[in-house]
Amino acid sequence: MRRHPSMVPAGVWRHTAGCGTVGSRERLPGMETDLLYLRDAYLAEVDAEVIDVDPDTRRLALDRTVFYPTGGGQPHDTGTLADHPVVDVRKEGGLVWHTVGGEAPLPGRGATVHGTLDWDRRHQLMRTHSALHVLCGVIWNRWGVPVTGGNMEPLSARMDFEFDPLPEGFKEEVERLVADEIAADRPIEVSFLPRDTALDDADLIRTKVNLIPESVREIRVVDIVGCDKQADGGTHVRSTGEVGGVRVVKTESKGKGNKRLRIEVIDAR
Ligand SMILES: [Zn+2]
């Protein structure tokens, strides 16, 4: 949750093979995928150019994408790309690679392709990811306890906190606090801060922005205004009301100073 691979700067693709002429259908050195989902999580479709193809693994790299690649506890998106089902999305260096299923021939480098997200699933992941940040916020604001890790699926998630032990009546109280934040319908704002500005922010320091590699000069910040603020590369809803509701399904001890919460995101009551 805390440090998303997608915040790590895109590595520069090095043109090593054949170092001679770069033809118009070859990927240019330094070409990277524009990660549209970082600026607008509500884009469900894209027209993009294929900048590289790996026919053996049936993977396509695009000049821009709306598909979120697995990272930061959030699973990759699914959908269709050039009418092929998208079965995996990964970010490697500066490129997002989309693995497609089926056996139909793949478009070539330079082709323009249309991609469409499975929007219902993505929106569920956005609600779930935002729910986890609300959870981080209320647990920090009420008990001063930091998160140690987490993972999510559409509408369900787990998150680990440094509690030892869990406070009395914890489950009911945390559910009530989360419900209050959802009822307040707090705006969720995404911004991009220069690294030095981010390092001056107490909330971002608390959530370990300083652990993001030095080479990352611009930090993406997700601010649930008045509740939780952290460096984050995931996709979020616009306000806490859109989360719906959150139920704490289970709490488990994972050892000293590590307690696991399992949550479900439900429709608004
Ligand atoms: Zn996150």
pLDDT value of position 206: 86
Domains of the chain: 2-117 (2.40.30.130), 122-266 (3.30.980.10)
Measure 203 CA to ligand 1 centroid, in angstroms.
Answer: 14
Measure 215 CA to ligand 1 centroid, in angstroms.
Answer: 21
Measure 210 CA to ligand 1 centroid, in angstroms.
Answer: 16
Measure 1 CA to ligand 1 centroid, in angstroms.
Answer: 4
Which helix (H) or strand (E) element contains residue 249? strand 245-253
pLDDT for 176 beyond 60? yes
pLDDT value of position 34: 97
Measure 163 CA to ligand 1 centroid, in angstroms.
Answer: 20
- Going by pLDDT thresholds of 50, 70 and 90, the confidence category of residue 28 is low
- Going by pLDDT thresholds of 50, 70 and 90, the confidence category of residue 208 is confident
- In the sheet with 245-253, reading across from the earlier edge strand, the strands are 147-153, 156-161, 259-266, 245-253
Measure 72 CA to ligand 1 centroid, in angstroms.
Answer: 6
What tens digit of pLDDT does each residue of 224-268 get? 999 999 999 999 999 999 999 999 999 999 999 999 999 999 998
Measure 105 CA to ligand 1 centroid, in angstroms.
Answer: 36
Measure 227 CA to ligand 1 centroid, in angstroms.
Answer: 14
pLDDT for 15 beyond 50? no
pLDDT value of position 30: 76
Which helix (H) or strand (E) element contains residue 230? strand 228-231
Measure 221 CA to ligand 1 centroid, in angstroms.
Answer: 10
pLDDT value of position 207: 83
Question: Measured on CA atoms in the order 1, 204, 95, 19, is the torsion positive or negative?
Answer: negative
Residues across the chain? 269
pLDDT for 209 beyond 80? yes
pLDDT value of position 83: 96
Measure 109 CA to ligand 1 centroid, in angstroms.
Answer: 33
Cβ-based neighbour number of residue 189 at 10 Å? 14
pLDDT value of position 16: 25
Q: Summarize the confidence of residues 187-194 as an average pLDDT.
A: 97
Q: Summarize the confidence of residues 186-208 as an average pLDDT.
A: 94
- Residue 91: name the closest of 66, 119, 68, 107 by CA: 68
Q: Summarize the confidence of residues 78-103 as an average pLDDT.
A: 97
Measure 136 CA to ligand 1 centroid, in angstroms.
Answer: 10
- Going by pLDDT thresholds of 50, 70 and 90, the confidence category of residue 27 is low
Measure 222 CA to ligand 1 centroid, in angstroms.
Answer: 8
- Residue 146: name the closest of 136, 156, 154 by CA: 136
Q: What average pLDDT is seen over the chain?
A: 90
Measure 250 CA to ligand 1 centroid, in angstroms.
Answer: 21
* Lowest-pLDDT range of 14-23, 95-104, 154-163: 14-23
Q: Summarize the confidence of residues 20-25 as an average pLDDT.
A: 39
pLDDT value of position 10: 32
Measure 79 CA to ligand 1 centroid, in angstroms.
Answer: 22
What tens digit of pLDDT does each residue of 94-110 get? 999 999 999 999 999 99
Lookup result for tokens 């499975």: 118
Measure 50 CA to ligand 1 centroid, in angstroms.
Answer: 29
Q: Summarize the confidence of residues 192-210 as an average pLDDT.
A: 92
* Beta-ladder partners of 151: 158
pLDDT for 8 beyond 70? no
pLDDT value of position 13: 28
Measure 134 CA to ligand 1 centroid, in angstroms.
Answer: 10
